[in-house]
């Protein structure tokens, strides 16, 4: 074979199999590739992943990975969109630095859909539904914009992983009280602050000033009157992390799963423990104080007496 033919074949091969390896050891796929070679500690995640949950049935393609995240797109996603690589990596690193590790692989699998499956959902390493992986699965796009509601959605789903799998324990005892989004609101704000995304933090803070809910009472403002004052006055991300730590240490569980939901009295007691002060007055400002909460609060203080704080 002549030297010219060898050069030509090499050039063709370089066009067919392209892999851009970054200085941090991460890998971005920019074309068909049969094998990945990286300097990462963890094994490479699968190059494809067939969805088998809910109504999802897409064959996902891995577009990027490192030791912290694996990014998957469905076939309708614009593969020139790369901001999730950077944002999801920084978000998951921040989550692990605040709330600890999430499973033995400790990697976040991020699924993006274009034009289908509107909204998002999470899964954790405890769940066989998503092959025992920490997952955020979001649609329906478009995903060109790397700010605003796109960031809010993917960050929101990550917050569910935190509440449902922190400190090696499955389930969220407070979910029946705060529902789908109230915890996630302070989680999102704190993440933006922690990641130095000041513009996004300011935007989200302003948005939350006009956010009202009808639970536990009409016109409740969870972020403004409950979570943000606790976050601001009692340690920022440290108070958020401590709440989940106290749950893992004291709330009833069987093996590595919580066995029941919290009462409102327990909820306020555990948050008081995280803050180090009695939060009855703050709860009253935020939600009022029904007479039955007096009983629940006293019962919680007695049942979980190792959780202490000033003003008891």
Residue spans of beta strands (DSSP E) within 240-308: 253-254, 257-258
Coil, strand, or helix at residue 12? helix
Residue 70: its H or E element? strand 69-73
Quick check: 33 pLDDT over 50? Answer: no
**169 Cβ contact list (under 8 Å, min separation 6):** 247, 248, 253, 256, 257, 258
Q: Assign 97 to helix, strand or coil.
A: helix
Domain borders along the chain are 20-31+40-240
User: Is a pLDDT exceeding 80 seen at residue 263?
Assistant: yes
Q: How many CB atoms lie within 10 A of CB 224?
A: 17
Mean pLDDT, residues 10-26 = 38
Which of 21-25, 194-198, 226-230, 263-267 comes out lowest in average pLDDT? 21-25
∠ CA 198-106-30, rounded to 5°: 75
Q: Are 252 and 260 in contact (CB under 8 A)?
A: yes
Q: Nearest CA to 153 among 103, 102, 98, 110?
A: 110
CA dihedral 2, 3, 9, 13 (to 10 degrees): 150
Tell me what the pLDDT averaged over the chain comes to: 91
Statement: residue 228 has pLDDT above 50: yes
Supply the pLDDT for residue 38: 52
Residues 258-263 have a mean pLDDT of 98
- Residue range 265-275: mean pLDDT, rounded: 98
Cβ neighbours of residue 103 under 8 Å, at least 6 residues apart? Answer: 124, 125, 132, 133, 134, 165
Higher pLDDT, 6 or 302: 302
* Domain made up of 20-31+40-240: CATH architecture: Orthogonal Bundle (1.10)
To the nearest 10 degrees (0 to 180), the angle between helices 182-194 and 83-99 is 100
Residue-wise pLDDT tens digits, 165-187: 999 999 999 999 999 999 999 99
**pTM for this prediction:** 0.89
pLDDT at 312: 84
Give the pLDDT band (50/70/90) at residue 101: very high
pLDDT at 35 over 60: no
Q: For residue 12, is pLDDT > 50? A: no
């Amino acid at each position: 074979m002549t030297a010219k033919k060898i050069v030509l074949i090499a050039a063709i091969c370089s066009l067919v199999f392209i892999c851009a390896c970054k200085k941090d050891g991460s890998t971005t796929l920019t074309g068909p590739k049969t094998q990945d070679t990286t300097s990462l500690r963890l094994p490479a995640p699968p190059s494809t992943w067939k969805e088998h949950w809910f109504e999802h049935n897409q064959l996902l393609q891995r577009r990027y990975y490192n030791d912290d995240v694996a990014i998957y797109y469905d076939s309708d996603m614009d593969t020139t969109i790369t901001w999730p690589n950077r944002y999801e990596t920084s978000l998951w690193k921040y989550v692990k630095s605040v709330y600890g590790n999430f499973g033995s692989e400790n990697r976040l699998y991020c699924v993006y859909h274009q034009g289908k499956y509107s909204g998002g959902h999470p899964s954790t390493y405890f769940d066989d539904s998503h092959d025992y992986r920490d997952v955020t699965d979001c649609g329906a796009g478009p995903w060109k914009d790397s700010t605003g509601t796109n960031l809010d959605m993917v960050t929101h789903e990550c917050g569910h992983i935190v509440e449902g799998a922190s400190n090696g324990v499955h389930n969220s005892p407070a979910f029946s009280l705060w529902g789908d989004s109230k915890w996630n609101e302070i989680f999102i704000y704190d993440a933006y602050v922690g990641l130095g995304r000041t513009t996004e933090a300011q935007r989200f803070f302003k948005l939350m000033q006009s956010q009202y809910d009808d639970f536990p009472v009409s016109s409740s403002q969870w972020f403004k009157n409950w979570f943000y004052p606790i976050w601001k006055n009692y340690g920022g991300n440290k108070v958020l992390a401590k709440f989940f730590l106290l749950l893992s240490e004291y709330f009833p569980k069987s093996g590595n799963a919580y066995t029941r939901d919290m009462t409102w009295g327990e909820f306020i007691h555990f948050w008081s423990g995280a803050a180090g002060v009695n939060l009855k007055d703050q709860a009253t400002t935020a939600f009022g104080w029904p007479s039955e909460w007096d009983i629940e609060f006293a019962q919680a203080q007695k049942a979980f007496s190792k959780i202490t704080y000033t003003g008891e």
